[in-house]
Amino acid sequence: MKPLLVILFSLLGFFLFAQNESSNDGKYILHIKKASGKITIDGKLDEADWQEATPLTSFIQNYPSDTSQAEMQTIARATFDDQFIYVSGICYQPHKYTVQSLRRDYPNSSSDNFFVTLDPFRDKLNGFYFASTPYGVEKEALLFTGPGGVDNNIDWDNKWYCNATREEDKFIIEMAIPFKTLRYKLSPNGINEWNINFGRTNYNFNEKSSWAPIPKNFRLIDLNFSGKLIWDDAPPSPGKNFSIIPFTLVGRSKDFEAATQANNDIEAGFDAKVGITPSLNLDLTVNPDFAQVEVDQQVTNLSRFELFFPERRQFFLENSDLFGTFGFPNVNPFFSRRIGIGNNVNTGENVRVPIIAGARLSGRINKDWRIGFLNIQTGKSVKFELPSTNFTTAAVQRRVGLRNSLGFMFVNKNEFENKTPETKYNRMVGLDFNLATKNAQTDGKFFIHRSFSPMISNGEYAMGSFIEHNTPKLVYDISFENIGINYRADVGFVPRNGYYRSEGSQQSVFYPKNKSSHLINNWRIGPDYDIFYGGCRSFL
């Protein structure tokens, strides 16, 4: 364990100050003005306010060549009123589109689209994504930066409006995004600035482009390369945000063959969202009904270990990266899908456990601090012999330097009326450092976690480090993991325990000389290794 600690903190000290190069926010600037009239979201852009809004042209390719003007150009504009920020895009291309699905939240990298990314706090780590296909199919996501670069959560859903029209040489997108959907604060000095970028994907012509240019070895949604949005007129003051979703289920059943008396079932509950501040939200739930949640993709598991399925319940989604990105994907101390589910002691299968009530406070205090607190109580299951359980989680994240962050997490699971001392409680404390250099070429993570359980006193640790360097022609990464034999994360996702692991790779990237090729965008060659030593004990 000691050699890994030396490597971990040596890398941390070296990369903490590895900040260089500049970004686009000082070179690409959009001034947004308040609209004077009503804007109708019909995809036509025939209002006078659109003509007065600053047009953004000369989109730059992200692929195939990140130094060339886009062949299929775009004109983007933005304006706002007291309720919405409006975004439009005139996207030039022949009337021939690649669209895989007409379903909302269509899969990534599947359809032609126009999109906007917003970073109201200008930290280049978290933001919002709104996109539309040429047929007006909507897609929204929360953006966050973690090991391996920017990532997104498309399971986050919110209310906004979009429409599209199509002509022979172009399609037009018109969006209205409610300010209540966004999280932001007004500047006390009256100078309000956000980060913003506009982008296009055109799969029929194998081209990707954006207003503020993004190197081809990065994704178009990378917030690090955004331009600057300057509000000539201040956005509206974020008001109090409150919403409630109640439900009632009524049922009646009777066994006619047994001639039993009919049973009447009534069930009720609600979910609520309360805006404590414009960037800090309180989610409440009482006897929640998750029947409306999208089902998981069906997967055949041929391994010895359980599979990871993403969280889709809306109660857990906003700021989910604050809770769920500690550790590595396979050493995750908090996995919200453990809440509301238990293990049938008779068959070993997972079974539903009723959630009595819960509260979840999450969001930003300011540009540098993010906090999260969750407390949920589940009921007792007599049928499956499962005790009532309380789940408590607290997370704090502090921005360090330009794009680095330091996070602390505490997780507690406490079972009541449990006759098995070994599982009565499980606790975990952890410290994570996330690295993201200013030029986004180097990112990584370093973490150390410690669990606490009854009747165990040693081997309750987990630690790891990861570094990746990404350039257009060379990509390499290296990671280390050391998981103690008695490390337990009952509210996490840790398929195996008691092992050492080191893995890495180096790839040389080659791009075809024929830039119009639609078959091969790039090809890579290089060595990789994966060294694993230890056991595979699991407590779950």
- Domain edges within the chain: 33-231, 242-277+279-291+311-537
pLDDT of residue 254: 78
pLDDT of residue 22: 47
Phi-psi map region of 260: left, alpha, beta (phi>0 left; psi -120 to 50 alpha): beta
CA angle 149, 78, 204 (to 5 degrees): 60
On whether the pTM is more than 0.95, the answer is no
Q: What is the largest CA-CA distance in the chain?
A: 79
Structural contact between residues 366 and 299, judged by C-beta atoms closer than 8 angstroms? no
Short-list 206, 142, 141, 224, CA closest to 404: 224
Reading the block at residue 301, the tokens are 């598991």
Structural contact between residues 368 and 185, judged by C-beta atoms closer than 8 angstroms? no
* Topology of the domain comprising 33-231: Immunoglobulin-like (2.60.40)
pLDDT of residue 516: 58
The alpha-helical segments, DSSP class H, found in 312-437 are 320-324
pLDDT of residue 162: 96
Tell me the average confidence (pLDDT) per consecutive run of 10 residues in the chain, 540 residues long.
47 46 75 94 94 94 89 96 95 91 85 95 91 95 80 86 95 95 85 94 91 92 93 85 84 77 81 86 88 75 82 86 91 91 73 89 90 93 82 94 91 81 83 88 93 85 94 92 92 92 92 70 90 64
Residue type, 78: A
> DSSP letters of 182-213?
S-----TTS--EEEEEEEEEETTTTEEEESS-
